[in-house]
Each structure stands twice: as C-alpha cells, then as structure tokens.
Structure 1
Amino acid sequence: MLSGGEKARLALSKLTLQQANFLILDEPTNHLDIDSKEVLENALIDYEGTLLFVSHDRYFINRIANKVIELSADGAVTYLGDYDYYVEKLAIQTERAALLAAEKTPETLSTVVNDRKLSYAEEKAAVQQARKQQRAVEAVEREISETETLIDTLEHRLADPAIFGDVTQTQKYHQQLLDAQAALEQLMIDWEHLSS
C-alpha cells in the first residue's frame, strides 16, 4: 500500500538500523521529495562507512561524492572529486585532444601572430616550445595519476581490518596518506600553472 517514495524511505530507514559499513545505492533520491532528499543527504554526509551509488542527480553527487568513477567500453576511470571536478577534467581532456589534433594539421604551420606571418625559425621555435610545454604537462599528469593511485592504495590499507589494532602501522599509513595528498595538491597547482 506504500507509494514509491514511502517504500524508498522505509528501505533507507531499515539500512540505517542495520548499521552496515558499506552501502550500495541505486538512484537513492528517486521518488523522494525535497525535504526527504535533504534528510537523506545529511544522513549520508554523516555516514562513516563507504558508499557506492549510481545517481543522475548532479546536486546529490556534488554533495555526497568524493570520487566519481566513469564506466565506458574502454574500462573504468576514477576521478578524485565531486561531479563538478569530473566535468572540469572532461573539458580539459577534450580541449587537450583538440589542441593535439590542431597541432597535427597543416594550418598550424602557417600561424599568424599580430597580423604577420612567423618566419620559419620563429615558427619552429614556437612548435618546439609548445611540444616542450605539452611534455611537461604530460609528465605532471603521469605524476598526478601515480599519486592518485598511491592515495587509493593507502586508503584501502587504512580500511583493512587487519591493521585496526596496529597503531604504529595505522599511523604510518595515515602519515603517508597525508604526504601523498599534499603532494597531489602541489601537483594540481603545477598542472594548472603549466596548462595556462
């Protein structure tokens, strides 16, 4: 006799009472009114376990997610951040692909700057500089990817029940995680500087 929204609220209430440390949610905000969505969002923000959810609600994703996993025919790609960060990274990747495609076209060989044609030497130097810049960006992106993988590994180690009693090991992994997160922040700053 319950409506869709009432069934969803009942199911979420039952999950809360079970005190599970891992939740898998499929479109949890469907059939919920605005007040119920806010209550759910606040409960999930306070939730100390792990959440894996599928949602088309961008506002919900931005409030709850700290990782976005993009699934495609090529596999899965993890982005450390909310939905806005994911969209920003996609835009950057699209722009980079367009720049690389433009770099390979013959039009780039006849670049005009300040209404004058570049000399062959100037053009060659500009292309070399652009390639050098691109290689530097790619190197930083590789470091970012490696650091994100390290952070993911350390987070998994910290979540491993086998080390819960080992304070020394937990502190070691926690410090490594803090160092990796700080390194990632610096790499992101370097990447932004190089990209601009």
Structure 2
Amino acid sequence: MYAVILTVVAAMLSGGLAGSDPPPHGDYAAMARYVVHNNDWGSLASISTHQPMKGKPFTNVFSVSDGPVENGTGVPYFFFSPLDVTVQDLMVNPNASFSMSEIESGYCTSMKWDAEDPRCAKIILSGKIVTVPQDEADFAKNALFSRHPIMADWIKMESHKFYFTKMEIEDVFVLDFFGGGNIVSPEDYFNVKP
C-alpha cells in the first residue's frame, strides 16, 4: 500500500495526472490541453448578481474534469448546485472565465518556479457555462466522479439539486514563458491529441 501511494505521488510530482512532462514552450494549444487535463480544480469568474459586488467580477474555486485520466476531451465539466452564489450569477449571465495553473501538477515546484513565474503555465478559458445535454450526462458524470469520488455523495443531497455543466469554450489564453501570453483558437485547442 505504501509503495502504491509513493508511486502515485511521484507521478503527480513528475508531471501531473497524465504522468508526462509538459509540452515544449511555444506549443500553446498542447500546453493548454495539458494543463486543463492535469488540473482537478480552478478559479471560475462570473459577473456577480449579489450585493455589494453586483456587476463586478467574482471568482470562486470549483472542481473540474475534462474527462477520465485516460480520456481527456479538453471540455471542462463541473458539478453545480443552484445554491452556490456563482451558479446563481451564471444563471443570469452564462459568460465566464476559468483559470488554471500548471502549479497543481508539481512540475513548477520541481523546477523551483513560483506559481507566478511565467514559465509555470497559466491557462484562461473563456466562454459560456451550459447545462450538459442528456446524451452527454453519463460521460460528464464519469469524468467528474472518477476524479472527484466524493461527488457521488453530493448527488445524494437532493436538496442541493446538483447538475452537470460544461464550458463552451470561445477563447483560450496561454501564458507559459516570458514575453506575454498567447491566444489559441478553440479549433486548434480541440485538435490537440493528448
């Protein structure tokens, strides 16, 4: 058991869930897919509908999955409850940005890079948050529950009315080196074979 735990931790520290090192600098679409697939959480920004922040950007941390470890799709899936203030914001205005950092994989730490170091990749996805269609619900459930097993207990809390959502990506911003960020088209992002 101890050996299994050490192996999992070592894999995470060496390059994240997928067990591989990040793509080279300059391959922005591949870097975006790498970070999105290797992160279990990020910061979701909405436009607040609640006082005293009404009309201002508001961020909140959410668990995420783009698919099971062996089947990343690039699509961020979420498990939302309408009781959450960010979810309430998104019901009024579905436009959102979702930020993730390579710091979670352990790679940046192994390189002695701070989370703010430009070489520690940061990805910002922008688009609309929509309810997952019924024919995609089983995939979303497997994507999220395989990475976040505790969610299987959340679904039992009927009063919270959890449901599956995803981001329809419109823009991808990547910062993975000095000199400023880069825009990746959704088409290039989804064409990457992880």
Question: Would you say same fold, with TM above 0.5?
Answer: no
Q: Which is helix-richer, 1 or 2?
A: 1
Q: So what's the TM-score if we normalise by structure 2?
A: 0.21
Task: Report the structure number with the largest CA radius of gyration.
Answer: 1
Higher strand share: 2
TM-score, normalised to structure 1, is: 0.21
